[in-house]
């Protein structure tokens, strides 16, 4: 990108070089420009705090490109298929007719805002076509990349944080922490710019990214991870939806792991939290729960997207939030406090249904862990979460303080990259999915397997429609799609294999569920899949 416009591209490859390029770029922007640039470079069209969707998917972009160029569909498809990148396709097809007016970053921001406010796919395509006619092809291509949340310039959030630190001569760790607390790199960029990073703090009704867990395949590897720091703390691994519950003592809100507000879907949780009458933030897992037992995950899914005012649904599918951590207590942030102290504060609270404190057990050896694991599995839970009692709460990070143990039922979170029409009764629907894990260094999806089974017919039909809107290119029966649909897949073994780009292949893969709650950057990496090689083979 150059100066205060949105065009340009860098070939910087090494981390340090990229960081330097970023820092130079950030330094030449004014405040308004800086905020937008940081948000867009982190792969979002709008700040995370501004969650309304823009509904400008590949279909709308394609319609706009065809309209503005008058290009025959076949010719367009050929280019798109060859490049397999909507941003690049935009640049190539617009080149002959491109305009010359380089929009400033604030202009671009107001264009994106008005595009979001425009209702209906064809009106959006019309607005986009007008924009495409005016600006240089490279600027149009970046706008498309921003809209699709896929810049493909090898920038990870960590690198952007470093770039900001270098640009404004501040500590990278402080920038990182501010980003965890704010969840909005645009806002953090402004804090770094104006020397206000010290103002970062945990705030009520302002969700922070969840602490994440690393996976280990068996009890022995879990214990060797904690290397002698015994006993470890053990909780059941509940198979539901991660929620962060905020209350100031009279009002309460429930947020999902993607920081979206879900209070309307689970009003009984908010009411119970507000009745505590003190300012707290809980980290919890929400389960569909009846007669002392968890109900299957798909039962809980029926409450997603529905209003909790639907009393019938609330009674039919009751929920329970198992609170396993507390991030704020009586208004004080506990993030820098060890788990044992956070838990001791939590235990002072008398929670009543549908809130319940998750039980903690201690384990000193593999025999302890294995027997806790068996008990958890028998009572319908997914496995165990093993935690370091001295560990601090690390928002948004797989710090190693939490380890998940799901052995005997290994699963990976993957993203769908290609899909094919099925056979027999599935002839008319896209039902054969090729999926990928994330390459550790580039973050790009790398194929690891294919699955055909696990979803119900209605799920397949709905997913099929959705995948058609994500189509990037088509070859015969097979569509390449934008990597957006996250699946959890189970399998019997992982083996080395040259069949897929990841160098790995799964034996008997089957889809456990669609993970609507997980973002694409949260899927498993090739190296985390590789760690399961020895135990599942």
Which residues are known to be catalytic? 237
Shortest Cβ 237–ligand AMP spacing (Å): 4
Stretch in the footprint of ligand AMP (CB under 6 A) among 5-13, 101-109, 236-244, 436-444: 236-244
Cross-strand partners of 479: 419, 474
Binding track over 346-365 against ligand AMP, x by CB under 6 A: ------------x-------
Q: Which helix (H) or strand (E) holds 115?
A: helix 105-117
Structure tokens at 243: 């929620």
Shortest Cβ 259–ligand AMP spacing (Å): 13
> Distance between CA 253 and CA 273 in Å, rounded?
9
- Establish if 343 lies at the interface with ligand AMP (CB under 6 A): no
Site for ligand AMP in 153-212 (CB under 6 A): 210
Binding track over 292-311 against ligand AMP, x by CB under 6 A: --------------------
CA neighbor of 151 nearest in space, from 159, 141, 160: 141
Shortest Cβ 364–ligand AMP spacing (Å): 19
DSSP 160-227: HHHHHHHHHT--HHHHHHHHHHH--HHHHHHHHHTT-GGG---BTTB--PPP--EE-SSHHHHHHHHT
Place of tokens 């962060």: 244
State which residue has the least CB distance to ligand AMP.
242
Please check whether residue 506 is in contact with residue 493, taking contact to mean a CB–CB distance below 8 angstroms. Answer: yes
Nearer residue to ligand AMP within complex by CB, 150 or 285: 285
Q: How many residues would you count in the chain?
A: 537
CA neighbor of 523 nearest in space, from 483, 493, 492: 483
Binds ligand AMP by CB under 6 A, chosen from 85, 177, 182, 235: 235
Site for ligand AMP in 115-154 (CB under 6 A): none
- Establish if 404 lies at the interface with ligand AMP (CB under 6 A): yes
Binds ligand AMP by CB under 6 A, chosen from 105, 351, 385, 467: 385
Stretch in the footprint of ligand AMP (CB under 6 A) among 56-64, 176-184, 237-245, 468-476: 237-245
Shortest Cβ 356–ligand AMP spacing (Å): 12
Nearer residue to ligand AMP within complex by CB, 387 or 500: 387
- Establish if 324 lies at the interface with ligand AMP (CB under 6 A): yes
Nearer residue to ligand AMP within complex by CB, 26 or 289: 289
> Distance between CA 156 and CA 154 in Å, rounded?
6
Cross-strand partners of 511: 489
Structure tokens at 399: 């710090």
Nearer residue to ligand AMP within complex by CB, 33 or 235: 235
Binds ligand AMP by CB under 6 A, chosen from 22, 64, 128, 213: 213
CA neighbor of 209 nearest in space, from 259, 156, 262, 253: 259
Site for ligand AMP in 251-290 (CB under 6 A): 285
> Distance between CA 177 and CA 190 in Å, rounded?
14
Which parts of 315-410 are beta strand (E)? 319-329, 332-333, 355-357, 361-363, 383-387, 402-405
Question: Greatest CA separation found in the chain?
Answer: 70
- Establish if 237 lies at the interface with ligand AMP (CB under 6 A): yes
Please check whether residue 324 is in contact with residue 285, taking contact to mean a CB–CB distance below 8 angstroms. Answer: yes
Shortest Cβ 339–ligand AMP spacing (Å): 10
Shortest Cβ 235–ligand AMP spacing (Å): 4
CA neighbor of 111 nearest in space, from 6, 22, 3, 1: 6
Chain residues that interact with ligand AMP, rule: CB under 6 A? 210, 213, 235, 237-238, 242, 285, 324, 358, 385, 404
């Amino acid at each position: 990108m150059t100066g205060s416009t949105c065009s340009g591209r860098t070939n910087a490859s090494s981390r340090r070089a990229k960081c330097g390029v970023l820092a130079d770029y950030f330094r030449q922007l004014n405040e308004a420009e800086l905020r937008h640039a940081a948000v867009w470079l982190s792969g979002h069209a709008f700040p995370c705090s501004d969650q309304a969707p823009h509904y400008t998917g590949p279909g709308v972009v394609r319609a706009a490109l065809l309209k503005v160029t008058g290009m025959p569909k076949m010719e367009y498809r050929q280019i798109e298929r060859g490049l397999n990148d909507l941003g690049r396709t935009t640049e190539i097809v617009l080149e002959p007719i491109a305009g010359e007016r380089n929009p400033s970053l604030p202009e671009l921001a107001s264009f994106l805002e008005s595009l979001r406010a425009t209702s209906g796919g064809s009106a959006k395509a019309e607005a986009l076509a007008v924009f495409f006619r005016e600006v240089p092809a490279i600027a149009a291509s970046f706008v498309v990349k921003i809209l699709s949340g896929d810049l493909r310039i090898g920038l990870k959030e960590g690198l952007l944080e470093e770039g900001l630190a270098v640009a404004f001569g501040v500590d990278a760790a402080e920038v990182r922490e501010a980003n965890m607390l704010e969840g909005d790199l645009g806002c953090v960029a402004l804090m770094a710019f104006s020397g206000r990073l010290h103002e970062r703090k945990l705030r009520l009704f302002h969700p922070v990214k969840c602490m994440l867990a690393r996976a280990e395949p068996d009890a022995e590897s879990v214990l060797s991870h904690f290397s002698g720091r015994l006993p470890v703390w053990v909780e059941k691994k509940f198979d539901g939806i991660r929620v962060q519950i905020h209350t100031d003592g009279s009002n309460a809100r429930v947020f999902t792991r993607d920081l979206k507000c879900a209070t309307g879907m689970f009003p009984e949780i908010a009411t119970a939290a507000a009745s505590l009458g003190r300012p707290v933030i809980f980290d919890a897992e929400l389960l569909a729960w009846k007669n002392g037992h968890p109900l299957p995950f798909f039962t809980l899914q029926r409450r997603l997207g529905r209003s909790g005012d639907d009393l019938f649904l609330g009674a039919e599918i009751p929920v329970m939030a198992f609170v396993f951590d507390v991030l704020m207590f009586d208004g004080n942030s506990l993030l820098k406090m060890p788990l044992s102290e956070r838990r001791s504060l939590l235990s002072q609270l008398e929670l009543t249904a549908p809130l319940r404190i998750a039980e903690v057990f201690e384990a000193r050896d593999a025999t302890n862990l294995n027997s806790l694991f068996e008990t958890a599995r028998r009572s319908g839970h997914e496995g165990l979460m093993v935690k370091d009692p001295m560990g601090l709460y690390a928002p948004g990070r797989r710090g190693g303080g939490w380890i998940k143990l799901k052995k005997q039922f290994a699963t990976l979170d993957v993203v769908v990259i290609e899909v094919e029409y099925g056979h027999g009764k599935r002839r008319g629907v896209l039902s054969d999915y090729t999926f990928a894990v994330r390459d550790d260094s580039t973050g790009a999806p790398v194929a690891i397997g294919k699955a055909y089974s696990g979803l119900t017919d209605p799920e397949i039909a709905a997913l099929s429609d959705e995948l058609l809107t994500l189509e990037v290119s088509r070859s015969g029966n097979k569509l390449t799609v934008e990597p957006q649909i996250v699946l959890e897949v189970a399998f019997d073994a992982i083996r080395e294999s040259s069949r897929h780009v990841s160098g790995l292949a799964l034996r008997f893969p089957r889809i456990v569920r669609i993970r609507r709650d997980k973002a694409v950057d949260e899927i498993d990496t090739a190296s985390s899949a590789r760690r399961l090689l020895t135990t599942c083979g």
